[in-house]
Amino acid sequence: MDRGGRTGLNFVMNSSYRREFLKGAAASLVAASVPRFSGAEEKGVEMIDIHQHVNYHARTNADMVAHQRAMGMSKTVLLPSGSQLARESTHLGKSNGLAARVFGPGAAQRVAAKYPGEFVWFANEVPDIAETKASLEYWLERGACGIGEQKFGVECDGKAMRLIYDIAKAYEVPVLIHFQHGKYNHGFERFHKILEAYPTVTFFGHAQTWWGNIDAKHVPTDLYPKGPVTPGGLTDRYLSDYPNMYGDLSAGSGLNAMRRDLEHAAGFFARHQDKLCYASDCADSVGNGEKCSGAGMRDTIKELVTDPAARAKIFSGNAKRLIEGLA
């Protein structure tokens, strides 16, 4: 992973200074941006994607940018990988690059600089190494707007992840977490302890175990469950009971959760309209059609969320409220 010369760093931004830095940087980027096509903007609907990657399954930057524009995104959050390491938390290297050949924070930062006004980016690092704190602080002090996607084989409430949450608390940034039974961020049923221990930290839930648990009868090993949803699942309760818990609607897991029971999904969108953010997390290069889960989620929201105000919150308003650099 390119860390851009962390050696020699001898200053630390406090949270208030960092917020002003990000606001100024965002204003400069918008001012420098050039006109571009966006079907969403033409129709007066702003859309923000909080979940995309650089080099996602070796997709080129040009294809990724074209994909986002084809979907009508006005801004996108780039989520980098951590360091490339062979250790238990990376499944001896099999999960490096978020198990999808994704590049690190330096690459995300460069894409954001090349396409001003279209992208912001998060920091990321393997959570259980000696360099975690210094690495994350390095990128957060250079404009990263959050931490994630945290996708490593650790306990979601263990010591390693608590360091991540401590850093997020200190820098006042959100954390986006991939929950997947048996593989990433184990112990989803205990995550309420973290939500209670870190009430000022914003958490985004994502992936198979997060979305499977909209169902009160969810079977943990069923990563893409089908059929009607029994209301009252753990995810639904986390969103309802904890002000700092939010949902990332991306990927096949998110789309499956909404399409498996349309009646439940319509109620879920209405009930959690202040807690959900549009996201894509798709690796295709087209940005439309059946193979693009991001386009599928975009169209599902348009289909099921009939209230324009609620739809605007899910498409962009919530993200702008929660992630610096998007407003």
pLDDT one-digit tens code per residue, 173-194? 999 999 999 999 999 999 999 9
**pLDDT-derived band at 10, boundaries 50, 70, 90:** very low
Q: Which residue has the tokens 């969320």?
A: 305
161: tokens are 């992840």
Which of 32-36, 95-99, 109-113, 224-228 is predicted least confidently? 32-36
Instruction: Please say if the pLDDT value at position 137 is more than 80.
Output: yes
Q: Give me the percent of the chain exceeding a pLDDT of 70.
A: 87
Instruction: Label the pairing between strands 48-52 and 119-121.
Output: unpaired
CA distances from 310 to 107, 257, 306, 314 (A): 34, 19, 8, 6
pLDDT one-digit tens code per residue, 264-300? 999 999 999 999 999 999 999 999 998 999 999 999 9
Q: What is the mean pLDDT of residues 142-169?
A: 98
pLDDT one-digit tens code per residue, 28-46? 333 333 233 334 444 678 9
Query: To which H or E segment does residue 75 belong?
Result: strand 75-78
Which of 11-15, 64-68, 81-85, 271-275 is predicted least confidently? 11-15
Cβ-Cβ contacts under 8 Å for 152 (sequence gap 6 or more) = 82, 89, 90, 95, 126, 127, 128, 160, 184, 185
pLDDT one-digit tens code per residue, 213-234? 999 999 999 999 999 999 999 9
Cβ-Cβ contacts under 8 Å for 241 (sequence gap 6 or more) = 192
pLDDT the model gives residue 327: 86
pLDDT the model gives residue 136: 98
Cα angle 319, 188, 99; round to 5:
70
Instruction: Please say if the pLDDT value at position 13 is more than 70.
Output: no
User: Chain-wide mean pLDDT for the chain?
Assistant: 90
pLDDT the model gives residue 5: 33
Cα angle 162, 168, 174; round to 5:
115
Rounded CA gap, 21 and 25, in Å? 6
Strands (E), 172-282: 175-178, 203-206, 245-248, 276-277
Higher local confidence (pLDDT), 219 or 11: 219
Rounded CA gap, 156 and 190, in Å? 8
Q: What is the mean pLDDT of residues 248-275?
A: 98
Domain residue spans of the chain: 36-322
Query: To which H or E segment does residue 41 belong?
Result: helix 39-42
- The yes/no answer on whether domain 36-322 falls in CATH 3.20.20.80 is no
pLDDT the model gives residue 43: 60
Q: What is the mean pLDDT of residues 318-324?
A: 97
pLDDT the model gives residue 45: 82
The total number of residues written for the chain in this structure: 327
Q: What is the DSSP string of 195-221?
A: HHH-TTS-EEEESHHHHHTTSTT--TT
Rounded CA gap, 181 and 186, in Å? 6
Rounded CA gap, 47 and 295, in Å? 12
Rounded CA gap, 116 and 104, in Å? 19
Closest of 108, 115, 110, 111 to residue 34, by C-alpha: 115
Instruction: Please say if the pLDDT value at position 17 is more than 80.
Output: no
Query: To which H or E segment does residue 181 belong?
Result: none
DSSP 3-state of 201: coil
Instruction: Please say if the pLDDT value at position 106 is more than 80.
Output: yes
